[in-house]
Amino acid sequence: SRPLTLVSGACYLPHPDKQAKGGEDAHFICDNEKVVGVADGVGGWADVGVDAGQYARELMVQSIIAAQQEPHGLVDPVRILVRAHSKTKCKGSSTACILALSDNGLQAANLGDSGFIVLRNGKTVFKSPVQQHLFNIPYQLEHGGSDPPTCAQVFSVQVAAGDVIVVGTDGLFDNVYDTEVASVVVHSTRSGFGPQLTAEKLATLAKASALDRNRQTPFAAAAQDAGYRFHGGKMDDITVVVSYIASRG
């Protein structure tokens, strides 16, 4: 069988109130290493004058450096996360989700409430669960923090050419149901759109949902389950990375 490759594109829409500073999400795409990642700086740091976006951005820069040091075809997302976390020294904390297409399938490490889904023929074949201590308190990486990168959940998913991976921060998954993600992906792939445009369409849908006070959203459902009265979407930074899996040659 021919080796698989990742063709990726991304879209980032910062929270309108955080646009001037660039928001608190970050992401990266390493085409050669077949690695992608997202991070969501934890907003509560703003109360003590710390820009958690800086932590998320530094974590992703260090993840790129770590990914480039990995053995070809045997990239380990946990090793990347451990290395990046140890090198990220600024104040703040962040969730993280890193995926690598290796010789033996899709390898992923997820810590917190960012995450990913794998779609095949318009159906969700895998979704990473949310990792949180309590409702809306996700696991988070911090320099000297209590959630070490080794407590990330690790996944190995068998994938094939034609599969689509959607990686996102909670700004996507809090506002858009998996079925909605799937229908956007199906429409995009049938229309011949690349991953960049698909990511833009998903981010735009998430923002529209976040602004809709009457819409039932995954976040509203989770809040209601946790005993809170909440309706509509949740405005946030929105990051979407879409990767099409293709066979080389």
Domains and CATH numbers, the chain: 4-247 (3.60.40.10)
Query: pTM to 2 decimals?
Result: 0.97
Whole-number pLDDT of residue 142: 96
- One-letter amino acid for residue 196 of the chain: Q
Query: Pseudo-torsion of CA 30, 33, 36, 39, nearest 10°?
Result: -80
204: left (phi over 0), alpha (psi -120 to 50) or beta: alpha
CA dist 97 and 110 (Å) reads 4
Q: Quick count: other Cβ atoms within 10 Å of Cβ 188?
A: 21
Inform me whether the pLDDT recorded for 103 exceeds 90.
no
- Buried (b) or exposed (e) across 99-137, using 16+ Cβ within 10 A? bbbbeeebbbbbbbbbbbbbbeeeeeebbbebbbeeeee
User: CA angle, corner 57, sides to 135 and 151, nearest 5?
Assistant: 45
Res. 1: pLDDT tops 70: no
161-199: pLDDT as tens digits: 999 999 999 999 999 999 999 999 999 999 999 999 999
Q: Which of 1-5, 13-17, 111-115, 231-235 has the lowest mean pLDDT?
A: 1-5
**What three-state secondary structure class fits 15?**
coil
How many helices (H) and strands (E) the chain has is answered by 6, 13
> CA-CA distance, 99 to 93, in Å (whole number)?
20
Helices (H), 99-177: 170-173
116 pLDDT above the threshold of 90 = yes
> Residue 240 corresponds to which amino acid?
V
Q: How many of the other CB atoms lie within 10 Å of CB of 211?
A: 13
* 206-222: average pLDDT: 97
Residues 6+ apart with CB under 8 A from 221: none
- Return mean pLDDT, the chain: 96
Q: How many CA atoms lie within 13 A of 237 on its CB side?
A: 27
From residue 15, how far is each of 25, 102, 106, 239 by CA, in Å?
10, 34, 30, 10
* 20 contact partners, CB below 8 Å, separation of at least 6: none
